[in-house]
Amino acid sequence: MFFEFIKSIFNSLFMILHINQTNEFPKALSKEDEAKYLELYEKNGDIYAKNKLIEHNLRLVAHIIKKYYSVGYDQDDLISIGTIGLIKAVNSYTSDKGTRLATYASRCIENEILMHFRASKKTNGDVYMSDPVDIDKDGNTLALIDIISDNTNIVDDIELKIKTEKLYKKIDECLDKREKDIIFMRYGLMGYPELTQREIAKRLGISRSYVSRIEKKALTTLYKNMK
């Protein structure tokens, strides 16, 4: 989740902040507006169009979680994970797929959540080369062996390293100790295990809602400073 955290800070963090702060989801786009934004993003890489497509499909994330995964799991965690699947769907969707964005995104969201469930059941040693870890541009599941066999993109690695160093610097400069500790534990940074809000609350002896408020405040501070 570390790499997804960095990605969300730079690309679509405000989407997750929107969910956490308002608990409301924008209405779905009309067929005409969706086609317009898809064309703008596909042909011109328009970031505003991309963000509109993500924002107005957040109801789909909530619907899938409510329909299939409503019992026994932290809803905030599942919404965050499902949103990552939605972002991947918008990033990889093209109009020649022969299906609506919502249909394609539903598969991506469900895949992301299923991968989370599978990973949560594993111990540190139970990792197999055939385990699903991502999806390709066509929505097909990629196994660990597929990722390992791909050629490494050195430019992307360098860019990620630069962004990572910048992120850690901003965390150190902008957050107080409690905010740092919660961000480190929440996203598995600085050697901390990745924990849910409930696990952090129990460890720190505070309420889960207080952890949630501190996390949102810290993310908002980082987002503003990273811009």
Same domain, 10 and 62: yes
Phi, psi of 143 (to 5 degrees): -90, 165
Summarised one tens digit per residue, pLDDT across range 84-100 is 889 989 988 888 877 88
pLDDT recorded at residue 72: 55
> What is the secondary structure of 56-67 as a DSSP string?
TTHHHHHHHHHH
According to DSSP, the β-strands at 132-135 and 141-143 are antiparallel
Percent of the chain exceeding pLDDT 90 equals: 15
| Residue finishing a domain among 128, 149, 170 | 149
Query: Is 1 within 8 Å of 186 (Cβ atoms)?
Result: no
CA atoms within 13 A on the CB side of 146: 11
Domain boundary among 149, 176, 200: 149
Question: In sequence order, which residues have a C-beta less than 8 Å from that of residue 114 and are 6 or more positions away?
Answer: 132
Total domains, the chain: 2
- What CATH number is associated with residue 58? 1.20.120
Amino acid at 107: R
Phi, psi (rounded to 5 degrees) for 207: -80, 155
Could you give the CA distance from residue 132 to residue 11 in angstroms, rounded to a whole number? 24
CATH of the domain at 193: 1.10.10.10
How many Å apart are CA 103 and CA 89, to the nearest integer? 10
Map residue 147 onto helix, strand or coil.
Answer: helix
| 150-195 tens-digit pLDDT | 444 444 555 566 677 778 888 888 999 999 999 999 888 888 888 8
Confidence of residue 147 (pLDDT cuts 50, 70, 90): very low
Is residue 64 within 8 A of residue 111, CB to CB? The reply is no
Q: Same domain, yes or no, for 134 and 169?
A: no
Structural domain containing residue 186: 154-226
20 pLDDT above the threshold of 90: no
If asked whether residues 129 and 32 sit together in one domain, one would say yes
d(C-alpha 147, C-alpha 134), whole Å: 9
Q: What is the mean pLDDT of the chain?
A: 75
Q: What is the pLDDT of residue 125?
A: 47
End-of-domain residue from the set 149, 169, 202: 149
